[in-house]
Amino acid sequence: MTEMERCPICGEFDRKDTHTCKQTYLVWSEDDNVEDANGVRASSPEDAAEKFVRGEFDDFEYLGETIVFVTDYGGNQQKFSVTAEQTIVFSVSEVSDD
């Protein structure tokens, strides 16, 4: 059985023998400067954009569109619109008359 452990570099909990850290992207919002960019480990530029916005607005007080810029270490920059929206979830459970 393969041993699982937390990577000391990226913090991901994964199989020790096959783990590879995800690429780090520099991400910043339209309201900030590139000097304020955060390093975000992600599997793609789109994933980095979503992770950045989730981290910035994890309390979900902000809903709407956020424009972010994502740059990889090759210097390739992309601009993304990330939208946060609230959804209603219904659940049903039986109630007994005991």
pLDDT tens digits for range 25-77 = 999 999 888 888 989 999 999 999 999 998 877 665 666 788 999 999 899 99
For the chain, the 3-state helix, strand and coil shares in percent, each to the nearest 5, are: 15, 35, 50
pLDDT for 22: 86
Contact 7, 20 (CB under 8 A): no
Q: Which residue has the higher pLDDT, 81 or 10?
A: 81
Position 33 scores a pLDDT of: 86
Per domain, the residue ranges of the chain are: 22-84
pLDDT confidence of residue 47 = 95
Here the tokens at position 78 are 């992309």
Which helix (H) or strand (E) segment holds residue 5: the answer is: strand 4-6
Of 76, 77, 79, 57, residue with least CA distance to 68: 79
The closest of 63, 64, 14 to 43, measured between CA atoms, is 14
| pTM beyond cutoff 0.85 | no
pLDDT band, very low/low/confident/very high, at 1 (cuts 50, 70, 90):
low
Burial of 40 (0-12, 13-18, 19+ CB in 10 A): buried
Q: How much is the pLDDT for 70?
A: 96
